[in-house]
Amino acid sequence: MKYSIFSFPCFSQLLVDQVSILETMTPLDFMAFRDYLCPASGFQSLQFRLLENKLGVKQEHRVRYNQNYTRVFGRDPKAIEEIKRSEEDPSLSCLVQRWLARTPGLESYDFDFWGKYKRAVERMLFEQEQTAQEQSEEQMKVYLTSNVRSRQAIFETIFNESLHNALVSRGERRFSYAALQGAVMITLYRDEPRFSQPHQILTALMDIDSLITKWRYNHVIMVQRMIGSQQLGTGGSSGYQYLKSTLRHLIPPLTKQMKTRLSISWNGWSTDNNQNNAENNIKHS
């Protein structure tokens, strides 16, 4: 049976909800129950490894313990073959990038979305800098000016393809430049009929990544609560420490700058306000 990408978040939510049921056990009850799990493992299982590979978690982004799957599945050549095939096949992340790169309207000779977006952002940053300079209180003026400078540096890596590719080569970004442009355009024009379903797909992908991260986090907290940080995992890993290290397996990973952009600022200077300003500017340009 085949499932659509919109079904996957429902399955992921089910995984997250199951952890709360396990948390109703006392640590002693859990230890008795845990004996029935050995040597099985959730994170180190074949199914979860295949799922991660299909989503786009690359070998080099895994923690060191989990990179050598021949040691984990060495006695099962069929499992190793499945894993190798899943690594060689195009991942969901790869296919989504190809799809985004073909977003209509990115062509500079036609609609030239990227040119309009750049001008709208420049106008937004100019207005914000003017607002910062008009502040009578010096401390507020310095703070807002610093914020504008930080945003300018971030947008420079977005509009400068060479800087973006340099971040990709360092592993701080994963999407190609054309895919990034397509994602931005779909997000800004999400209310247009042509981009409504593409935006729903992008939202579903973000839901999948968010729910898998929640499952990882809830799993880590449950393990620490039930068995502490010194017990080995049922699959032979270091247990809590290993599980905690896998929390960085985001698809794609969030850089320090991206985390800052997603945070909520005070005095009304939030990311949502900045995006709304850019949207209004580009739609009226």
Gap between the Cα atoms of 82 and 16, Å rounded: 26
Return the C-alpha torsion angle 141, 145, 146, 152, nearest 10: 170
Gap between the Cα atoms of 93 and 279, Å rounded: 26
**271-283 helix and 113-133 helix, angle to the nearest 10 degrees:** 130
Q: Which two tokens stand for residue 132?
A: 């910062």
CB 9 within 8 A of CB 209: no
Q: pLDDT of 155-199, one tens digit each?
A: 999 999 999 999 999 888 889 999 999 999 999 999 999 999 999
Residues across the chain: 285
Gap between the Cα atoms of 198 and 183, Å rounded: 9
Buried b (16+ CB within 10 A) or exposed e, 56-93: bbeeebbbebbeebeebbeeeeebbebbeebbeeebbb
Cis peptide leading into residue 252 (ω within 30°) = yes
CB 22 within 8 A of CB 30: yes
CB 96 within 8 A of CB 179: yes
For residue 226, give the nearest of 15, 39, 63, 37 by alpha carbon: 37
Residues of the chain with confidence (pLDDT) below 50: 1-2, 232-240, 249, 258-259, 261-272
Other beta carbons within 10 angstroms of residue 39's beta carbon come to: 9
Gap between the Cα atoms of 31 and 27, Å rounded: 6
Mean pLDDT of the chain: 78
Other beta carbons within 10 angstroms of residue 33's beta carbon come to: 12
pLDDT attached to residue 278: 53
Query: Cα 150–156–162 angle (5° rounding)?
Result: 140
pLDDT attached to residue 197: 93
User: Which of helix, strand or coil describes residue 214?
Assistant: helix
pLDDT attached to residue 130: 95
Other beta carbons within 10 angstroms of residue 106's beta carbon come to: 18
Q: Specify the residue for token string 């977005």.
A: 158
Cα dihedral 122, 128, 134, 139 sign: negative
For residue 64, give the nearest of 190, 180, 237 by alpha carbon: 237
For residue 258, give the nearest of 191, 196, 180, 195 by alpha carbon: 180
DSSP 69-82: HHHHSTT-HHHHHH
Q: What is the pTM of this model?
A: 0.72
